[in-house]
Amino acid sequence: MIIYLIKKHALWIVLMANVSCNTQNKQQPDGGPCSYKITDYPAKILKIEDVGNNQVDLNLEINPFHFEKADTISFCLENHGRCVTIEELKENKLNQGDTIIYQIQEIKEGACNPRIIVIKAEKFKRSG
């Protein structure tokens, strides 16, 4: 009985799946492509803390919007648990007092995330 019902309705199922797939292909995709304005700001390393497993956290001072008082953040917390490896620290010759890149990407076009913040364990270089 079940096999009879499947055979009887198989054509109907295939037609509905085909219509459904064709309709989905005509929809506008969410998001991209998107373009961003990228601006790098300095993030001063206030303290380097060993967190184990050959990794460190960088306590940083940032002030990208030139507020009266700077803000302090944790590299690991801002990067959702991704810390800096000892190898990265040595490779980029980072020490307490150095500045690294605090990058803000603000959307110019598209419907993606309007603001993305990226902290890079690389030395900040002033432009201009």
Q: What is the CATH number of the domain that holds 74?
A: 2.40.50
Tell me whether residue 28 is in a domain: no
Alpha-carbon distance 5 to 84, whole Å? 60
Tell me whether residue 6 is in a domain: no
Angle at CA of residue 52, ends 50 and 54, nearest 5°:
90
Residue 77 has pLDDT above 90, yes or no: yes
Residue 16 has pLDDT above 80, yes or no: no
Query: How many independent structural domains does the chain possess?
Result: 1
Tell me whether residue 12 is in a domain: no
Alpha-carbon distance 46 to 51, whole Å? 16
Mean of pLDDT values over 33-51: 96
Query: In this structure, are residues 46 and 96 in contact, taking their beta carbons and an 8 Å threshold?
Result: yes
Mean of pLDDT values over 24-37: 68
Residue 32 has pLDDT above 60, yes or no: yes
Residue 75 has pLDDT above 80, yes or no: yes
Question: What domain range includes position 58?
Answer: 35-123
Secondary structure element (H or E) that encloses residue 69, with its range: none
Tens of pLDDT, residue by residue over 92-126, are: 999 999 999 999 999 999 999 999 999 999 999 98
Q: Which residue has the tokens 């499947």?
A: 6
